[in-house]
């Protein structure tokens, strides 16, 4: 089983003495295929109290936090809007409006 929440972080020294933080996370095709299937199936599912809207990888979550966002307190509508704004629609789990 692949751990999708594992983010590799490296500190890379620059010539001017500064450091660059480099983060990387592997996202498998299986993970994206599952989300794609969930998106397609969501058209035919009647939702009740809870609806899965996205699976945000840890690296994206960390990036949003580094950009000054507060991902822990974003509602579903904000998460969907941000994923679309960043061109990360592959992480959406539904085609429904949130």
Domain that holds residue 52: 26-91
Residue 96 domain-assigned (yes or no):
no
- Domain annotation covers residue 98: no
Tell me, yes or no, whether 74 lies in a domain.
yes
The verdict on residue 14 lying in a domain is no
3-class secondary-structure state, position 12: strand
Residue 43 domain-assigned?
yes
Q: What percent of the chain has pLDDT over 70?
A: 95
C-alpha span between 84 and 36 (Å, rounded): 15
Number of structural domains the chain divides into = 1
Average pLDDT of 87-91? 96
* Distances in whole angstroms, Cα of residue 80 to Cα of each of 16, 21, 25: 38, 26, 20
pLDDT score at 45: 78
Q: Can you give the pTM of this predicted structure?
A: 0.77
Quick check: is 19 in a domain? no
Whether 20 maps to a domain, the answer reads: no
46-82 pLDDT per residue, tens:
777 788 899 999 889 989 998 999 999 999 999 999 9
């Amino acid at each position: 089983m692949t751990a999708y929440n594992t983010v590799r972080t490296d500190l890379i020294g620059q010539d001017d003495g500064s450091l660059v933080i480099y983060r990387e996370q592997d996202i498998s095709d299986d993970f994206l295929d599952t989300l794609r299937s969930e998106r397609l199936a969501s058209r035919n599912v009647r939702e009740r109290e809870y609806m899965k809207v996205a699976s945000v990888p840890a690296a994206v979550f960390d990036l949003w936090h580094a950009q000054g966002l507060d991902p822990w307190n974003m509602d579903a509508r904000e998460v969907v809007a941000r994923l679309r704004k960043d061109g990360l629609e592959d992480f959406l789990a539904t085609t429904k409006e949130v």
